A = this chain, B = another copy of it.
Amino acid sequence: MSQDTPRPDSRASRSVTLQDIAAHAGVSRSTVSLVLRESPLVAEGTRRRVQRSIKALGYVYNRGAAALRGQRTATLGVVVYDIANPFFGAMVAGIDAALNREGYVSFLANSEDSPARQQRFLERMREHRVDGILLCPAEGTAPDLIDTLTSWQMPCVQVLRHVGEPPFDYAGTDFRRGVGLAIDHLVAQGHERIAFLGGHIGHSATRERWQGYREALARHGLAYQRLLRSDVTRRAGFELIPALMAESPAPTAVLCHNDLVAFGAMLGLKRLGRVPGRDCAVIGTDDLEEAALGDPALTSIATHPHAVGEEAARLALRRIGNPDGAREQVVLSPRLQVRDSCGALSTPLESPATTT
């Protein structure tokens, strides 16, 4: 038994382990482990010797095994509801950038706004023992989902939308304020009839926008109020316009749930023979890269997806490091990016948005 080291060299390509490194460097398994984790305990000479052995044997760290004994997997779950939306592309890039600095990797899943799919993904990520989750809750998510995650002892940061009762961790944009900025601007231009297009009451991000809309109207003492709920797609924006413009009185400006709706609305106006920005002002939300294009260039409430992603990821890392710390809400301030579609600028064509 102990007569000979049980070398299973018959097996093809057994992977190099800590044990092998230890033997090669003439130290113990534990010491090698300490070197790998950059512990200050090991003496400088030993460290160098071990590192040479690691290189020499072509060792590959096994994070799975480490995670089994330790408590970190250096892994984060990200669940969004529409990865094909350019907004989320930018946001995921931001998440990726923040995680990367800390050596974390992210699992990405796309719920397609289905709570059932979302639930499956969350369970799967739990099985993978992710250290935490970034969740953009699907529309119709049960409010107690956050309690469930808490009972799982799973750190969770909600992003852009939130469900359940505070306190919870959240990163997003101040939609209410953003809508306020846009309306202030329109009012300053002389608009008095401003409609709001798009959104379902199913989640917080819509409620916040609507609240901002009503508050701003009240603040300016405007009587006209027109709020049309709908999907938040180009098509929805396109299809809402004809009926809306046929009303009497018709609005002179439309504020849209996001840029996609705004693009659709501009298309709808053109179809009616009206010029967006002259005959009717249009403002979107998100300030996607393509907002600067189009004819006219779209004025939009910039919600900074990349920054939101970064903040969310950073918050998640903080929470993982300190699970019982006070919950945080990171709410970024939006900025109104004025272009031509609200009739404020005279420049007929501007250069494309500056690239990142």
Partner-B contacts on A (CB < 8 A): 13, 60-65, 67-68, 73, 75, 78, 83-86, 88-90, 92-93, 96-97, 100, 103, 105-110, 124-129, 153, 233-235, 238, 263-264, 267, 270-271, 289-290, 292-295, 306, 349, 351-356
Contacts and interface: CB of A to CB of B under 8 A. Distances in A.
B107 A83 contact: no
Q: How many copies does the complex hold?
A: 2
A107 B110 contact: no
> Which among A68, A125, A354 has the highest number of chain B CB atoms within 10 Å?
A68
A93 B110 contact: yes
Contact of A89 (B63, B85, B107, B127): B85
A123 to B, nearest CB: 8
A247 to B, nearest CB: 22
Contact of A234 (B64, B105, B271, B293): B293
Given A84-B93, A88-B89, A90-B84, A108 B108 contact: yes
Nearest to A305: B84
Contacts of A295: 270, 294-295
A324 to B, nearest CB: 13
A64 B128 contact: yes
Contact of A235 (B84, B97, B355): B355
A270 B233 CA distance: 27
